[in-house]
Amino acid sequence: MRVQNTLSCFADFSFEDLGISEQEYLDYRSKYLDLYEKANSSDKEKASALEDVDFELELMHRDVINVAYILNLLSMLVDAKGKNYESKKKQISDMLSNDIHLRSKKELIEQFIEDNLVHIENSEDVADAFDAYWSEQQLRAFAKLCEEENLDSKKIEAIIEEHLFANQVPAMRDKVMKAMLKKERLLVRKKTIPRVIDKIMRLY
């Protein structure tokens, strides 16, 4: 992966230079990300032995797939048929699996394809349909978060708006604590607050 990150800077780059097919590379990178997520979440307090992994993940950021590009591929799916349809659908799935920012959204996007895209006849309608679907899923996830974690929805909404506007929330831990409707003991709160923050970050 380190070699690919370096070689891909050049216009004449080809996967033949790596001695591995593009599909094999994508499969290995998907497994790589799975292992990274497991290792990184298993013990947050350990001194990191994953510094090289972090570095490589940062290099991946430059080929993040734009959501507009995903929408374009979804639009192409509307007009595709038979084997071509399945091929393009797999292409989208592979891209989602191998993009560090879109992996967490893969299930929702694939669900949109199965439940909504099949009913769309005009490819120009895809963007609006996807926006409506995405907004609905965000609202559901927001309501579920507030219910499961027993949070004041107005205060959590304010935190999210602040994050979307400024891309940061000063004293976020304190604000989340104040949004908790049930006051917990200190040791319990130390686990609850990071969990809530992580869920908020995954919403948007």
Interval 2-27: pLDDT, tens = 445 444 444 455 666 666 777 776 67
pLDDT for the residue numbered 193? 93
The tens digit of pLDDT for each residue in 59-76 reads 444 444 467 777 888 888
Confidence of residue 53 (pLDDT cuts 50, 70, 90): very low
- Predicted TM-score (pTM) of the model is 0.59
- Output the CA angle 36-137-124, nearest 5 degrees: 100
Q: What is the pLDDT of residue 49?
A: 44
Torsions phi, psi for 180 (to 5 deg): -75, 120
DSSP conformational letter for 151: B
- Give the pLDDT band (50/70/90) at residue 57: very low
pLDDT at 32 over 50: yes
Given the structure tokens 């592979």, which residue do they identify? 94
Supply the pLDDT for residue 196.
93
Q: Exposed, middle or buried, 196 (CB in 10 Å: 0-12/13-18/19+)?
A: buried
In the predicted model, what is the mean pLDDT of the chain? 76
Burial 78-96 (b: 16+ CB within 10 A, else e): bebeeeeeeebbeebebbb
pLDDT tens sequence across 129-164: 998 998 888 889 899 999 999 999 999 999 988 887
What is the pLDDT, as a whole number, of residue 43? Answer: 53
- Alpha carbon separation from 49 to 28, 56, 137 (Å, rounded): 20, 13, 36
Query: DSSP for 4-46?
Result: HHHHTTSTT--GGGGTS-HHHHHHHHHHHHHHHHHHHHH-TTS
